Amino acid sequence: MSELDVHVPDFAPAPEPAPEPGRFKVFAYLTAPHAERYVQIMELFVTHKRRFGLRLAPRELLVMWQDVAPDSAPTVDELVVALEQLYEWEAVDRQADTGRAGSTAEFKRARNTYDITAAGEASWEAAQRVLTLERRVASLGQQRLRRIAGTLDELAQLSQTSPVDGQRAEQLLVTLRAEIADTVQGISAFMRELGEVMTLGERLEREPFLAYKARVVDHLQHFDPMQRESHARFTVAARTVEEHLDALVAAVVAAGGQVAGYRQAPEQADRIRAEAVREEWRQAHDWLVGRGETTPWEQLRRSINGAVDWLLDTWNRLASEQSGRLDRSSDYRRLAAMLVEDPDSGPELFHLAFAMSPARHLSVPDPDEDQLENGATQSWWTVPGLLMDRTLRLPSSRTNQGRTTRIPDVTQARQLARVEAEEDARADAALRTRLLALHGKRLSEFHILDEETIAAIDEWIMECGTRATSIEDPGPWRHVDAGRELTVELTPQPGRARLRTAAGEWELDDLKLEVKPA
């Protein structure tokens, strides 16, 4: 190295920039062992901060815990261990507290106070959004849908009795409309909260938080078949009510005891009441089943599928960003192999690999126009030698110049993904073969079906049922199952079919299946 390459400055080097904190490991407590304990600690800190409280010692935090949840309160030592772990994850900060020492021995002991950090509070708020969305999905799927289906089933059974209990029918109709209104409000809140989770900032969309988001995707993916199952029940029960609607309306009107208005005949009052009851049922029917148009349930299903696709695409994109140097790593290994094969080709290989890209990963503590006039546009081939100062001999006191980020090895993950894709393809092919074997059969001929087959039949019934022009439409109803490349036709048959699965037993109108390749 010549004198032109080395320069010893007579001034002090620039101060070392503060290392960037690990912003994303703050989410580690959400998926770590004993996560419920860490979440409880973070919740106590957030509550204390919103009350404008000061820093907390472990014993003070333990007293708060015992007031809120005495059954799950840990010991002081366990709490200190958890606080130290949260401190390592940068969810809380720690400060030494010697003001309460009453003796020399206590003064020498490690006494700390803790408080939640800004990053910790942001992670807790993001986690609460996810938990709220989980509860909303569970409420929609496990409570409201089943309540609506139960009320509609009871109304359908009541409409088939003779005579119809008009008072009970009116109560069920009022309950059904109230449950639908409650569900509409829940869906609006669900989509709003889903949008908040989907639009969380990039600083939250990293591996620990995305692992936590997986719970939402799991709930959404389980909510879709639950919704399809409910839609099938809605369709069957609504058709039964439609068949006996006249008798049902007459019973409600007879039990209503309408009072005729001024210059209004009793028959006219009954007719107005009957039209009002029909309109109430028509509104509920159109919202649940529809009359050929896209129902709100179908719109919700599409929104859910779009949300799942969005979240999965986000994970794939961030995974690509995290392992963005993987392909470059393969290039590096190939270049190294070529250099071993032909050591004399080093300059040519260097030129091919780096000459066309700017030398952007070199950093200069003290920029000097004489050293690097425009580093972002100069290639490796033409950039001049970088002048170093004497702190080069103290690498621990300087930034990591010229070092790239760690290159993760995802070879095993790719192999596992390939194996899983092959298994999924074989399972799809086997399911398609089983579905083609249903050609020409009626639902009443089946005895026990596996869950995948019954889910496919359920989807066909829902899709074809929404295409029926009216309750008197004799069919067949045609549907192209694009996912399995099948053409399905369903023709109503007299009688009832009873299907048994591992999850339970279904009873619905009999149908004849025509299943052919698309």
Reported as a single tens digit per residue, the pLDDT across 157-212 is 888 888 888 888 888 888 888 887 777 776 666 666 666 655 554 444 455 555 55
pLDDT at 302 over 50: yes
Q: Where is mean pLDDT largest: 88-97, 389-398, 477-486?
A: 88-97
Give me the pLDDT at residue 278, please.
87
- DSSP class per residue in 91-124: SEEEEE--TT--SHHHHHS--EEEEE-HHHHHHH
pLDDT at 366 over 60: no
What is the DSSP-derived secondary structure letter of residue 448? B
Number of CB atoms found within 10 A of residue 249's CB: 23
pLDDT at 359 over 50: no
Give me the pLDDT at residue 325, please.
44
Give me the pLDDT at residue 131, please.
64
Mean pLDDT over the full length of the chain: 69
The residue-averaged pLDDT of 246-259 equals 78
CATH of domain 24-116: 1.10.10.10
- Nearest 5°: the CA angle 453, 457, 462 is 145
Look up residue 450 and give its two tokens: 């596996």
pLDDT at 446 over 70: yes
Give me the pLDDT at residue 381, please.
57
Confidence grade of residue 320 (pLDDT, cut at 50, 70, 90):
low
**SS3 at position 262:** coil
pLDDT at 46 over 80: yes
Was domain 131-322 assigned CATH 1.20.58?
A: yes
Give me the pLDDT at residue 465, please.
64
Give me the pLDDT at residue 178, please.
84
Give me the pLDDT at residue 154, please.
86
The HSE-up count of residue 101 (CA atoms within 13 Å, CB side) is 14
Give me the pLDDT at residue 134, please.
58
Distances (CA, A) of 60 to 41, 45, 51, 54, 90: 12, 11, 15, 11, 21
d(CA 349, CA 340): 11
426 DSSP β-pair partners: none
Q: Which amino acid is at 252?
A: V
Task: Give the residue extent of every domain in the chain.
Answer: 24-116, 131-322, 423-517
112 DSSP β-pair partners: 96
What distance, in Å, lies between the first and last C-alpha atoms of the chain? 73
SS3 content of the chain, % helix, strand, coil (to 5): 60, 10, 30
Torsion-angle region of residue 485: left (phi > 0), alpha (psi -120 to 50) or beta?
Answer: left
Helices and strands, number each (H, E), in the chain: 15, 5
Give me the pLDDT at residue 428, please.
81
The answer to whether 289 touches 234, Cβ cutoff 8 Å, is yes
**SS3 at position 489:** strand
Does an H or E element contain 508, and which? strand 505-517
pLDDT tens digits, residue range 125-162?
777 766 666 566 555 555 667 778 888 888 888 888 88
Tell me the pTM: 0.40
Look up residue 408 and give its two tokens: 């993760």
d(CA 81, CA 231): 50
